[in-house]
């Protein structure tokens, strides 16, 4: 074999469901050989990882990179720097942007803007378009998936009408792309908001998003999914009943779901300490729900762990009027350390961690990444599983320097992130320049 571009030497490589002491040869962005060091081809460049763990690069199917008119919260560069620092090589960006990504012109603008700024692979969601006839065009232009918000629509279409949703999901099904659903019932939320609007407590605002809103939305959307055969992914589930409802639906239709680290690890008690900094949508639930969600992961009932990285400014999160505070927290730089800590504690296995954070999200969204194999992309994260430290939002690459996980001691740290064999992060330093990442068009990855 001729000299290759890169050899990654001396790691414990996660391949085919377990770790092997091996080295990787990479050429033209792809893994070409997995072997002991003496059996590798010559290489132009070497990286010695000294017994550290080499995992597939993480895939996050739920992030908000903001940009455009929301660049003051986050932009394509800072958001993807946060991704790289957190071990993510591929992220899918949500469409509730300003302006919203709900027509072909806005999707084209967003693709163009991302190309010059991102440092990881980025796929772009299309919102449910303002016109149903634009659905095929959004797919043709390169949307990776569609997103429907049942609680707070960003489309001009009336999603309170079942016939509109049936027509929309039928058209999406024809594209072959997945549709992600934010499942909360708008009428339930609006009714409770009217009752509590005069109060000034964040706890009162949280009560306007009860578990019943999620359950009601799921019971409404699942028959529509079954009727339309749309490949559907349910975002950030936050109730015990949601796990049961979705897994019963899996017998009849192609449906998957995700949980976030904050719904897995934080409870409503966290809001007592952190106030609006622990406000997200859906909100944190009881400790019993956390345990049920973790059990759902272990039993294979929940398919994906996604960060729901949703950055805002500290000024926005500390407004006096709690009804004006936007929901969401940054998550790209905390998710992997938190999940690695669960592995260290024996809550999750390594196999399950890789499945939830890399392999399964890539499978669901039809992306040719998420595993280490000969011929596959050399999208990798090198992990020091022994590193202990406390989460400090002051060190985030994201513009959002806050987190309800502040001060948590974690064990396990991403120390290097590579995309197509190129090192984009090392020891917390971002080495890639703006635009050195790539925009995924549909499911196509070119480099």
Tell the residue number behind the tokens 């996604």, with chain if given. 306
Tell me if 242 sits within 8 A of 215, measured CB to CB. yes
Six token digits for residue 136: 């095929």
Extended strands (E) in 296-408: 304-305, 380-390
Confidence category of residue 196, pLDDT binned at 50, 70, 90? confident
Burial of 120-147, coded b for 16+ CB within 10 Å and e otherwise, reads bbbbbbbbbbeebebbeebbebbbbbbb
Domains of the chain: 57-364 (3.20.20.140)
Which H or E element spans position 294? helix 287-298
Tens of pLDDT, residue by residue over 361-413, are 999 999 999 999 999 999 999 999 999 999 999 999 999 999 999 999 999 99
pLDDT at 445: 79
Tell me if 96 sits within 8 A of 122, measured CB to CB. no
Tens of pLDDT, residue by residue over 13-30, are 999 999 999 999 999 999
Which H or E element spans position 83? helix 76-85
Confidence category of residue 447, pLDDT binned at 50, 70, 90? low
Tens of pLDDT, residue by residue over 70-112, are 999 999 999 999 999 999 999 999 999 999 999 999 999 999 9
Tell me if 364 sits within 8 A of 92, measured CB to CB. no
Long-range contacts of 208-213 (CB under 8 A, 24+ apart): 209/151, 209/184, 209/281, 209/282, 209/283, 211/238, 211/239, 211/241, 211/285, 212/185, 212/188, 213/151, 213/184, 213/185, 213/188, 213/189, 213/282
The percent of residues in the chain predicted with pLDDT above 70, rounded, is 99
Residue 308 among the catalytic residues: yes
pLDDT at 67: 98
Q: Is the overall model pTM greater than 0.95, yes or no?
A: yes
Task: Give the other-Cβ count within 10 Å of 9's Cβ.
Answer: 18
Residue 1 pLDDT exceeds 80: no
Which residue of the set 308, 379, 392, 427 is catalytic? Answer: 308
Tell the residue number behind the tokens 């998420």, with chain if given. 370
Tens of pLDDT, residue by residue over 313-370, are 999 999 999 999 999 999 999 999 999 999 999 999 999 999 999 999 999 999 999 9
How far apart are the C-alpha atoms of 416 and 8, rounded to whole Å?
Answer: 12
How far apart are the C-alpha atoms of 143 and 92, rounded to whole Å?
Answer: 10
Name 33's Cβ contacts closer than 8 Å, sequence gap at least 6: 1, 4, 24, 25, 39, 40, 41, 374
Task: Give the other-Cβ count within 10 Å of 327's Cβ.
Answer: 17
Question: What is the chain's mean pLDDT, rounded?
Answer: 97
């Amino acid at each position: 074999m001729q000299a290759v571009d890169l050899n990654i030497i001396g790691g414990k490589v996660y391949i085919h469901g377990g770790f092997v002491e091996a080295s990787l040869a990479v050429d033209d962005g792809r893994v070409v050989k997995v072997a002991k060091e003496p059996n590798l081809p010559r290489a132009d460049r070497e990286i010695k990882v000294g017994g550290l763990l080499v995992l597939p690069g993480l895939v996050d199917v739920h992030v908000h990179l903001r940009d455009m008119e929301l660049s003051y919260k986050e932009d394509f560069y800072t958001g993807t720097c946060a991704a790289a620092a957190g071990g993510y090589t591929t992220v899918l960006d949500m469409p509730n942007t300003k302006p919203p990504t709900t027509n072909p012109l806005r999707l084209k603008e967003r693709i163009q803007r991302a190309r010059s700024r991102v440092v990881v692979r980025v796929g772009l969601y299309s919102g449910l378009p303002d016109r149903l006839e634009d659905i095929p065009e959004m797919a043709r232009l390169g949307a990776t998936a569609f997103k429907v918000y049942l609680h707070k629509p960003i489309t001009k279409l009336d999603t309170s009408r079942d016939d509109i949703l049936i027509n929309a999901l039928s058209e999406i099904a024809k594209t072959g792309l997945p549709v992600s659903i934010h499942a909360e019932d708008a009428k339930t939320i609006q009714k409770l908001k009217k009752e509590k609007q005069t109060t000034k407590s964040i706890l009162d605002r949280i009560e306007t998003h009860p578990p019943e809103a999620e359950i009601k939305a799921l019971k409404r959307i699942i028959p529509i999914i079954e009727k339309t055969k749309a490949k559907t992914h349910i975002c950030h589930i936050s109730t015990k009943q949601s796990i049961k409802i979705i897994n019963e639906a899996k017998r009849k239709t192609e449906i998957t779901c995700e949980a976030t680290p904050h719904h897995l690890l934080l409870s409503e008690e966290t809001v007592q300490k952190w106030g609006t900094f622990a406000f997200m949508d859906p909100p944190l639930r009881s400790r019993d729900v956390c345990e049920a969600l973790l059990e759902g992961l272990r039993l294979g009932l929940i398919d994906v762990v996604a960060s729901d990285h949703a950055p805002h400014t500290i000024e926005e999160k500390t407004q006096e009027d709690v009804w004006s505070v936007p929901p969401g927290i940054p998550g790209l730089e905390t998710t992997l350390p938190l999940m690695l800590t669960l592995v260290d504690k024996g809550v999750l296995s390594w196999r399950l961690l890789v499945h939830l954070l890399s392999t399964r999200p890539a499978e669901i969204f039809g992306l040719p990444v998420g595993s280490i194999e000969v011929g596959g992309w050399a999208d990798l994260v090198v992990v020091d599983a022994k590193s202990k430290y406390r989460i400090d939002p002051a060190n985030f690459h994201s513009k959002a320097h806050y987190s309800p996980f502040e001060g948590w001691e974690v064990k396990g740290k991403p120390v290097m992130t590579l995309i197509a064999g190129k090192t984009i992060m090392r020891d917390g330093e971002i080495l890639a320049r703006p635009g050195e990442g790539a925009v995924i068009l549909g499911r196509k990855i070119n480099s």
